[in-house]
């Protein structure tokens, strides 16, 4: 397969331009119709994502894109069996974007391919450097009650991932009655990642790393979509507890009633945490307890997480003194812009010591006010740009739950 290339038009802001905003896409209808609408709307971004991951997998493991999609194919039947409507949505995305179904599946199962045991064995025995691939770097938070001076319920995160996919990130609104309406931040072509819904439930997710059994579980994009498809917090927790995912991932759930729960989900079991005085922050290391399968020689795959978490906690404690939402937003932005340990800081910037294809950055900083339904994001690092107020309110529309 020939490498895919894309180019930005002369008036398009570059990924590191502070004036850039994230594209917004709204889809509705049947799963297939939604998928086609989505694929057509993000065709350039989706092709750019395929081109980037083709190069990234080639560099890290010597895999061609055909080999990547062949590996991803093992997750097709589990998705079809567990969530046939999401398999239909992926097929529609592929049709709308003019790519193959396995291309879209690979974008939705990129983490599962990376953390598959055979990937590790192949990488270690081949000519490419072996070892673990760092998980999606994210710092997630929930703040309410004593932690929120204005009485609002806030949830959000800095989503840190490969800088090369920054221009593939879109904000997606899915109208899908009778399920809740969703707003999510995703890489083009993904059917789930992190976001919030019209029932007032927010999901912020963090990679944890570590390889477990060879049994095939569901991709994280499918699990996370299943969580956000729920109307009540207990059903959202039930999805996380009863669904077997393929890789480990942290899920921080927050609901507008003023409750948050963090679940460190792994194929070998779960750990959980509750807020302290209304504040909960989670990064990319195990905070509730290291799973027994990893404990003998566990080391955090993202050591900077050990710095990011307490720095976020320290900054967000200032929310207690906020007198209103405007002040709260400024405090959250300042907290999530922390640069201790730069470039691998809470607000992450590319490390010039690494090749461009290995650059990491904060792709999106998000803040959702679950009390008012306002959803704000930055198209890149929060330290040098303002929050983009999305045109949708979580609770707008005929299928939103009453505020």
Mention every residue, 6+ apart, whose C-beta is less than 8 A from residue 39. Answer: 46, 92, 93, 94, 95, 96, 97, 98, 99, 104, 189
| Chain mean pLDDT for the chain | 89
Does the pLDDT value for residue 3 go beyond 60?
Answer: no
Tell me the average pLDDT across 206-234. 90
Q: Residue 17's pLDDT is what?
A: 76
Cα(308)–Cα(315) distance, integer angstroms? 11
Does the pLDDT value for residue 15 go beyond 90?
Answer: no
Where residue 179 falls (left for φ over 0; alpha for ψ -120 to 50; beta otherwise) is beta
pTM of the model: 0.91
CB 195 within 8 A of CB 182: yes
Element (H, E) at 54: helix 43-61
Partnered with residue 260 across adjacent β-strands are 254
Q: How does pLDDT run across 300-322, given as a tens digit for each residue?
A: 989 999 999 999 999 999 999 99
Mention every residue, 6+ apart, whose C-beta is less than 8 A from residue 327. Answer: 149, 150
Per-position DSSP letters for 62-111, written without gaps between them? ---HHHHHHHHGGGHHHHHHH-HHHHHHHHHHHHHHTS-HHHHHHHHTHH
Q: Is the peptide bond between 149 and the residue preceding it cis, with omega within 30 degrees of 0?
A: no
Encoded tokens for 322: 């906020």
Which of the pair, 335 or 211, is modelled with greater confidence? Answer: 335
Best CA proximity match to 392, nearest among 180, 158, 223: 180
Q: Where along the chain do the CATH 1.10.439 domains lie?
A: 29-125
Best CA proximity match to 212, nearest among 125, 108, 112, 294: 294
Cα(341)–Cα(104) distance, integer angstroms? 36
The dihedral formed by the CA atoms of 8, 14, 15 and 18, expressed in degrees to the nearest 10: -150
Poorest-pLDDT segment among 27-36, 44-53, 131-140, 388-397? 131-140
Cα(65)–Cα(53) distance, integer angstroms? 8
Q: How does pLDDT run across 55-97, given as a tens digit for each residue?
A: 988 887 788 999 999 999 999 999 999 999 999 999 999 999 9
Tell me the average pLDDT across 142-166. 96
Cα(394)–Cα(229) distance, integer angstroms? 13
Does the pLDDT value for residue 162 go beyond 60?
Answer: yes
The number of CA neighbours under 13 Å toward the Cβ of 118 is 12
Cα(295)–Cα(359) distance, integer angstroms? 29
Mention every residue, 6+ apart, whose C-beta is less than 8 A from residue 17. Answer: none
Mention every residue, 6+ apart, whose C-beta is less than 8 A from residue 263. Answer: 237, 240, 241, 250, 251, 253, 270, 271, 272
Share of the chain above pLDDT 70, in %: 88
Poorest-pLDDT segment among 211-215, 344-348, 383-387? 211-215
Which of the pair, 355 or 148, is modelled with greater confidence? Answer: 148
Does the pLDDT value for residue 400 go beyond 60?
Answer: no
> 29-125: what fold?
Penicillin Amidohydrolase; domain 1 (1.10.439)
Which of the pair, 317 or 8, is modelled with greater confidence? Answer: 317
Q: Residue 131's pLDDT is what?
A: 47
Does the pLDDT value for residue 245 go beyond 90?
Answer: no
Q: Where along the chain do the CATH 3.60.60.10 domains lie?
A: 137-389
**Could you tell me where the beta strands, DSSP code E, fall in 200-350?**
201-207, 249-255, 259-266, 269-273, 279-282
Cα(282)–Cα(122) distance, integer angstroms? 32
Identify the architecture of domain 137-389 in CATH.
Answer: 4-Layer Sandwich (3.60)
Q: Residue 322's pLDDT is what?
A: 96
Q: Residue 210's pLDDT is what?
A: 78
CB 268 within 8 A of CB 292: yes
Mention every residue, 6+ apart, whose C-beta is less than 8 A from residue 28. Answer: 34, 37, 174, 175, 176
């Amino acid at each position: 397969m020939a490498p895919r290339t894309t180019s930005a038009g002369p008036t398009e802001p570059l990924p590191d331009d502070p004036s850039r905003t994230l594209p917004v896409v709204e889809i509705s209808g049947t799963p297939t119709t939604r998928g086609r609408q989505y694929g057509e709307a993000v065709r350039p971004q989706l092709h750019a994502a395929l081109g980037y991951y083709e190069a990234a997998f080639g560099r890290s493991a010597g895999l061609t894109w055909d080999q990547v999609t062949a590996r991803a194919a093992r997750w097709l039947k589990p998705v079809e069996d567990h969530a046939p409507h999401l398999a239909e949505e992926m097929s529609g995305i592929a049709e709308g974007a003019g790519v193959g179904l396995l291309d879209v599946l690979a974008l939705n199962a990129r983490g599962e391919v990376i953390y598959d045991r055979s990937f590790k064995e192949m990488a270690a025995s081949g000519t490419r450097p072996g070892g673990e691939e760092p998980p999606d770097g994210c710092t997630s938070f929930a703040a309410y009650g004593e932690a929120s001076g204005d009485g609002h319920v806030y949830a959000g995160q800095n989503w840190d991932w490969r800088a090369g996919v920054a221009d593939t990130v879109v904000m997606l609104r899915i109208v899908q009655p009778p399920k809740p309406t969703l707003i999510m931040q995703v890489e083009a072509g993904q059917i789930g990642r992190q976001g919030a819904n019209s029932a007032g439930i927010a999901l912020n997710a963090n990679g944890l790393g570590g390889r477990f059994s060879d049994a095939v579980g569901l991709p994280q994009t499918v699990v996370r979509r299943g969580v956000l498809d729920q109307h009540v917090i207990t059903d959202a927790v039930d999805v996380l507890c009863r669904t077997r995912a393929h890789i480990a991932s942290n899920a921080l759930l927050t609901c507008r009633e003023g409750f948050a729960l963090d679940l460190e989900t792994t194929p070998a079991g779960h750990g959980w945490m509750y807020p302290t005085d209304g504040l909960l922050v989670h990064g990319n290391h195990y905070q509730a307890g290291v799973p027994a399968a990893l404990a003998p020689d566990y080391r955090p795959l993202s050591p900077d997480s050990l710095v990011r978490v307490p720095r976020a906690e320290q900054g967000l404690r200032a929310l207690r003194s906020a007198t209103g939402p405007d002040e709260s937003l400024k405090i959250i932005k300042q907290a999530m812009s922390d640069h201790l340990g730069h470039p691998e800081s809470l607000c992450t910037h590319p490390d010039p010591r690494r090749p461009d294809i290995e650059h990491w950055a904060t792709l999106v900083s998000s803040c959702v006010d679950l009390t008012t339904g306002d959803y704000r994001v930055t198209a890149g690092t929060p330290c040098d740009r303002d929050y983009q107020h999305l045109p949708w309110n979580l609770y707008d529309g005929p299928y939103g739950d009453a505020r």
